[in-house]
Amino acid sequence: MKTFNYIISTILRISLIFLLFFIWVRYYVKSLTLVLIITSILTLLFDGFLNLLIKKKNIKASLKKEEIERAEGFCNYFIFNEKSVALNFFYNLLKDKYPAIKKSNFIIFEKNNIRVEKENQSANKNGDTTDANKEITLNVNARDAMENSINQNEMLVLYPFYKYNKLNIEDLIFIYNKTKNLKCEKVIICTSDFDEQVKKAITKMPKKFIILNKYEAYEQLMKKFEIYPTTQIKFNDETRFTFKNFLEVSLNKRRAGGYIFASIILFLSSFFVRVNIYYLIMSSILLLVSIFSFINPIYNKKTQEKVI
């Protein structure tokens, strides 16, 4: 599905750029063959430039308004409670799917390993001890098996670090020092938000760090496993409609279709109007707005790489 969406997205982007150049090359060049050749060359050059400029990413508006509010409410719940609340929640989220061990500040788990509880249940199903003793034995054996399994394989670390302010460099150094001796594949930090310095710093760290803000943690962990905190803390947010809000609505990817349609109508009208330069100009402007709305990383929400 991702490959199909990527192909469709690429075709649409290139088509928009091609149409933009075709409008103006056709205005100045009479030969249709030459127009197509020149337009194709310009399209390839401009598309390559765009890819270098924006460092092409998978951009999509993935969360609805209600989900955004829930993500913020869950995050506030973690912030205004002791750190053990977030730690216990994420441990319970992971332990049913992966072998997981809860430490004082983080959770260690093995993604590619099967659940050892099932193996222990199978091994002990013929035992003749009482139900209570079987449960105690199972828990001890399962924990020992998980310790051995995780120590023998590449592991992942999930570190909940929720605070009111953004995660900063000092926080990142603190987390690194807590996890630097672990032979883990990557460290996943769940937090409310993080600053630009941290975003740059994690690319230079000796081990791989992935940081999820409150929306990404909601989408990639809670929503994925369909497990959510039982409590939310919501604040009243009375915001006014600003020019930035206007841009977010106007230049969103979902608005691109309307701009394309209006541009095509104006372009076709230019064939029947004697002074067609004005139609060509307006058609080009709408196409530019459409291209920007389709590819811009500012007013379209991004999703990070798959973490688990």
What CATH number corresponds to the domain at position 192?
3.40.1350.10
pLDDT at 121 over 80: no
Residue 165 near residue 195 (C-beta atoms within 8 A): no
Which of residues 129 and 226 earns the better pLDDT score? 226
Question: Are 106 and 159 part of one and the same domain?
Answer: yes
What is the arithmetic mean of pLDDT over 113-135? 43
Same-domain status, 166 and 219: yes
Residues 160 and 216 in one domain: yes
Q: What angle do CA 275, 278, 281 make, to 5 degrees?
A: 140
Per-residue tokens: 289: 């707005």
Q: Quickly list DSSP for 117-143.
A: HHHHHHHHTT--S-HHHHHHHHHHHHH
Q: Which pLDDT band holds residue 60 (cuts at 50, 70, 90)?
A: very low
β-bridge partners, 158: 107, 188
The pLDDT score that the predictor gives to residue 245 is 63
pLDDT digits (tens, 9 = 90+) for 230-259: 999 887 765 555 666 666 666 666 667 676
Structural domain count, the chain = 2
Instruction: Name the more confident of 74 and 256.
Output: 74
Instruction: Decide which of 85 and 128 is more confident.
Output: 85
**53-57, 157-161, 173-177 — which is least confidently predicted?**
53-57
| Co-location of 16 and 95 in the same domain | no
pLDDT of 105 reads: 93
Residues 181 and 34 in one domain: no
Lowest mean pLDDT across 44-53, 68-77, 94-103, 108-117: 108-117
Q: Count CA atoms closer than 13 A to 192's CA, side-chain side.
A: 17
Is residue 67 over pLDDT 70? yes
Q: Which domain holds residue 54?
A: 2-60+252-295
List of residues 6+ apart from 253 with CB closer than 8 A: 59, 60, 61, 293, 294, 300
Vertex 66: Cα angle to 61 and 68 (nearest 5): 55
Hey, how many other C-beta atoms are within 10 angstroms of the C-beta on 154? 13
pLDDT 10s digits, 177-236: 999 999 888 999 999 999 989 989 999 998 899 999 999 999 999 999 999 999 998 877
* Residues 130-156, mean pLDDT to the nearest whole number: 48
Section 274-299 average pLDDT: 66
Residue 183 lies in a domain: yes
For the entire predicted model, the pTM comes to: 0.55
Res. 29 pLDDT band, cuts 50 70 90: confident
- Same domain for 81 and 211? yes
Looking at the predicted structure, is the pLDDT value of residue 136 above 90?
Answer: no
Closest by Cα among 74, 66, 65, 2 to 221: 74
User: What pLDDT is attached to residue 176?
Assistant: 94
In a domain, 245, yes or no: no
Q: Are residues 56 and 72 in the same domain?
A: no
Across the chain, mean pLDDT equals: 76
3-class SS shares of the chain: helix, strand, coil, % to 5: 60, 10, 30
Of 49-58, 177-186, 294-303, least confident by mean pLDDT is: 294-303
55: left (phi over 0), alpha (psi -120 to 50) or beta: left
User: Does the pLDDT of residue 127 top 80, yes or no?
Assistant: no
Both 52 and 70 in one domain: the answer is no
Is there a single domain that holds both residue 106 and residue 165? yes
Report residue 107's pLDDT band, with 50, 70 and 90 as the boundaries. very high
pLDDT at 17: 83
Exposure of 212 in the CB half-sphere (CA atoms within 13 A): 25
Asked if residue 184 and residue 289 are part of one domain, the reply reads no
